[in-house]
Amino acid sequence: MKVDAIIVGQGLAGSLMAWQLLRGNLRVLVVDRDEAVTSSKVAAGLLTPLTGSRFNLSEAVIERLNYALNFYWELENDHDAKFFHHQTIARLFRNPREKKAWEDRLRKDPGKLEEFHSPLGALDESITATGGGFEMKRGGWLDVPQFLEVTRQHLLERISYAIGDLSADDVSMTDTGVRWKNVEASKIIFCEGWMGNQNRFFDWITMHPALGEILDLKIPALESEKRIINSGGWMIPRGNGIFRAGSTYRHDFDRIEPSDEGEAEVMQKIRSITSAPIEVIDRRAAVRPIIKRSQVFMGVHPEHSNVAFLNGLGSKGVMNGPWYAARLAQHLFTNAPLPEEADIRSNLI
């Protein structure tokens, strides 16, 4: 079997990579362990244009946001699917410092921010918003498991998906690319999440994985709330008074499963948002891939130009991922330059 690229891992990064290569009429084989619990399958999928306590909005952010929204919209139309949900975000100020930072940002960049905010609408009396806030527009959330399933089904239809545990030790170099078992490919791209440096090609990349826990909550008093609520913690309405809420961020973990400590930490954040009665109906946990300065790392191996890497999409992966995957696809098959800040050859660590 001959393909243009083998992609190792069908999480968010591997799926985005597959779509970008397929768009270029390239033949791919995605090899995935098909695990029930992964960081992509657990991820909330939030897309928030204005992030952090300083609400920065660079031209790069706008470019990547526009690219991502168009990317998801086109895929939904082409495949008669729904996985991205445009939703207003009620961004509540956590303290006077945040409020001042927002007011300063508005004075500095009123034109640039115009399409991204509106006044905060009425909130349920159980929601704490004593410091005020605003409504963030052009945000929402990606139903990541649904996106992954649509991707998997499309790959299966093209005979481009295989369940398996592809070890880097079983990959050999050839004159024209790489070989794995009976598959020959021009390129192999490792998109393995938090275990991305546990193979012989990329074991020199330092990763600081973090365990994240989220909860599914039933809050009947907020059944009519349609906005995402964000104020330190976050709550995504899923309908019928059900909210997905989170999250934790811990580097010191010895097992990957929900914990009472994680539940307590998330509930503390949600209790700072609402005083309404809450029932915990589910708990989830997975490990995030975190690389130096929480940045995306991608590109080709310093010595093996046919071996590539895409990882570290992190909490902004839904917004940034499509753009970065497109840049890597162009780099691999047209030799287009990579963004220097993300190129592993420019950031040897």
The answer for 7, left when phi > 0, alpha when psi is -120 to 50, beta otherwise, is: beta
Q: What is the mean pLDDT of residues 39-67?
A: 89
Residues 326 and 201 in one domain: yes
Residues 116 and 95 in one domain: yes
Residue 192 domain-assigned (yes or no): yes
Residue 241 domain-assigned (yes or no): yes
What is the domain-level CATH number for residue 120?
Answer: 3.30.9.10
Q: What angle do CA 231, 45, 20 make, to 5 degrees?
A: 145
Residue 190 domain-assigned (yes or no): yes
Residues 119 and 153 in one domain: no
Q: Which of 272, 274, 265 is nearest to 243 (CA)?
A: 274
- End-of-domain residue from the set 248, 270, 288: 288
- Please give the DSSP secondary-structure letter assigned to residue 274: B
Q: How many separate domains does the chain show?
A: 2
- Give the pLDDT score at 349: 53
Residues 169 and 215 in one domain: no
- Give the pLDDT score at 39: 81
Residues 239 and 152 in one domain: no
- Residue 346: pLDDT band with limits 50, 70, 90: confident
Residue 257 domain-assigned (yes or no): yes
Residues 131 and 157 in one domain: no
Integer angstrom CA distances of residue 200 from 62, 65, 168: 37, 34, 6
What is the domain-level CATH number for residue 199?
Answer: 3.50.50.60
Residues 198 and 266 in one domain: no
Residue 272 domain-assigned (yes or no): yes
DSSP letters along 175-198, please?
A: SSSEEETTEEEEEEEE--GGGTTS
Residue 301 domain-assigned (yes or no): yes
Write out the residue range of the structural domain in which residue 160 sits.
Answer: 2-43+144-205+292-346
- Residue 41: pLDDT band with limits 50, 70, 90: confident
> What tens digit of pLDDT does each residue of 192-251 get?
999 899 999 999 998 889 999 999 999 999 999 999 999 989 999 999 999 999 999 998
- Residue 297: pLDDT band with limits 50, 70, 90: very high
